Structure 1
């Protein structure tokens, strides 16, 4: 059991900084304006559930899927960056809401999967880390085989539960900030998302350029 505890602890120390629950909570507050408490709780649960599924699928078949569709990590970063820029722009410059007589707000759009679960929480960095860790862990001899089979699902489950608990506590933050505070958080998070999206795209582009340079260098060295 000590081996299992050590493996789960190491996994959480690697994942939680990438997941960054406080940032997700701020984005959750910005996107859940006008939602009832029940709707917020549902979105919080779905977000945590989707994050768990994304991490689990990524660990077991992520490398295979990316290989089948010829998707590279730089390509994943650029695509995720583009999504964040679009979503961040809509939050930074929200369209004025036009109220109509008898309008109860209509059916609200779920934001649990996009952008909360992906790419905000389980984003390109998290996916890349899980895929690389999967390849490393499968060849690892530091832990017993049963630990290597048991630890990853437990790590993802604890991570998802931690995220769910943080999102459920967002009502406390809502009471402290008020509606004007949430609007300010929404615009701030929109700006941050745009910056994150641009940075993702830059990182992906730099990685592609480095790959091209390395390939050319290998060609030149080849006699």
Structure 2
């Protein structure tokens, strides 16, 4: 049991900085503006469920899916960055919200909260890249390697859900104007994050091309 506990702690320490629940809560405050408490709780629960599913799929079938569709990690980063930029611009320059459009606005649990904001390209890339090494690790017993990942993902989703459920307290503290300011601030940050994701993806592609060129030139030089 000690080995299982250590594996779970290590997994949470690796995932939580990438998941960054406080940032997700701030985004949730902006997106849930105008919704009643029941709908906010529903969106919080759905977001946590989606995050768990995304992380589990990335761990168990991520390599297979990306290989089948020939998707690279840089491509994943660029696509996720583009999505974040689009969503961020909509938050930064919001349209007037009418009562009839509140239900339409409520559909944000999967996109952008769960993905790409919370379980985004960085989280997915980390899970996929570490899954093969974890599955063949000799640092923990085999039963721990089979049990720990789903428990880590479950605990991460639970922590996220608790943080989102506490957003009501935060909303009461900062008021309506505070929520609006938070939404615009998060919109700007999402645009910045999206651009950075895209830049990182392009840089990885350029670095790969440079490495391939160097490998091709090296035998000719020698």
Please report the TM-score for the alignment, with normalisation by the length of structure 1. Answer: 0.96
Q: Does the residue aligned with 2:25 lie in a helix, a strand or coil?
A: helix
- 1:159 maps to which residue? 156
TM superposition shift of 1:86: 0.2
Report matched runs for 1:116-195 at 5 Å.
116-195=113-192
How many angstroms apart in 2 are the aligned matches of 1:164 and 1:222? 55
1:30 aligns with 2:27: no
- 1:115 maps to which residue? 112
Q: Does the residue aligned with 2:181 lie in a helix, a strand or coil?
A: helix
How many angstroms apart in 2 are the aligned matches of 1:111 and 1:82? 17
- 1:83 maps to which residue? 83
Change (3 A) 1:5 1:71: same
- 1:220 maps to which residue? 217
Q: Does the residue aligned with 2:117 lie in a helix, a strand or coil?
A: helix
Unaligned runs of 5+ in 2: none
Report matched runs for 1:50-65 at 5 Å.
50-65=50-65
- 1:93 maps to which residue? 93
Give CA-to-partner distance per residue, 1:63-85, whole Å, 9 cap, x none.
11000000000000000000000
Q: Would you tell me which structure has more helix in proportion to its own residues?
A: 2
Change (3 A) 1:82 1:46: same
Q: Does the residue aligned with 1:27 lie in a helix, a strand or coil?
A: helix
Query: What is the root-mean-square deviation of aligned Cα atoms in Å?
Result: 1.0
Q: Does the residue aligned with 1:222 lie in a helix, a strand or coil?
A: helix
Change (3 A) 1:139 1:76: same
Unaligned runs of 5+ in 1: none
How many angstroms apart in 2 are the aligned matches of 1:105 and 1:8? 42
Alpha-carbon contact 2:52-2:154 (below 8 Å) kept: yes
TM superposition shift of 1:104: 4.9
TM superposition shift of 1:90: 0.5
How many angstroms apart in 1 are the aligned matches of 2:102 and 2:12? 39
- 1:203 maps to which residue? 200
- 1:11 maps to which residue? 11
